[in-house]
Structure 1
Amino acid sequence: MQATINIQPVVINREIVQQLLGGISRTTFWRKRQQWEQAGTPFPNRAPGTNPGRGGEQYRYCDVMRFLAAQGLVESTHD
């Protein structure tokens, strides 16, 4: 019998981030990023060594989830 291993994604694209934020539009996501930057809590940088492909810029999953938890937009799963 083979064991199934569940692995978290390493890189997610902008479209997935928008879905995590409730299905917001690309424009709304851009505006939210501007607001966060002005508030002194900038959205994580794109993952180094990646190019925007289908779905937009790519970000590190762990960075995005930490940011969203810090902003109170998702609940921490480490409790």
Structure 2
Amino acid sequence: MEKKSVTLQPVLITRENVQQQLGGISRTTFWRRKKQWERAGTPFPKPAPGTNPIHGGEQYRYCDVIRFFRAQGLIDETQDAT
């Protein structure tokens, strides 16, 4: 029998993990960036429906966050597709 390894992306990501992906920014800086993106007409994705804040903050859909980062130019198109 051959073992196959399947890599799955996380479905949800917390605000705290998003902050880490943005270089370890603080909650305040993240909040300010969200407001800045909203004023620019490119709002950060809304929290995943049906979820409540947990340790680590609001929960977002991983695919929405990555799509947003790509649209903002925070992820280079040459990086691995997610």
**Does 2:60 match 1:62?**
no
Q: Which residue of 1 aligns with 2:54?
A: 53
State the distance in 1 between where 2:7 and 2:39 align.
37
Runs of 4+ residues deviating >4 angstroms: none
Q: Which residue of 2 aligns with 1:23?
A: 24
Distance apart, 1:2 and its partner CA: 2.7
State the distance in 2 between where 1:23 and 1:66 align.
19
Q: Which residue of 2 aligns with 1:12?
A: 13
State the distance in 1 between where 2:12 and 2:3 align.
26
SS of structure 1 residue aligned to 2:16: helix
Q: How many residues align?
A: 78
- Could you tell me the percent identity over the aligned residues? 65
Question: What is the alpha-carbon root mean square deviation over aligned residues?
Answer: 1.0
State the distance in 1 between where 2:47 and 2:28 align.
17
State the distance in 2 between where 1:47 and 1:73 align.
21
Q: Which residue of 2 aligns with 1:36?
A: 37
Q: Unaligned stretches of 5+ in structure 2?
A: none
State the distance in 1 between where 2:31 and 2:41 align.
16
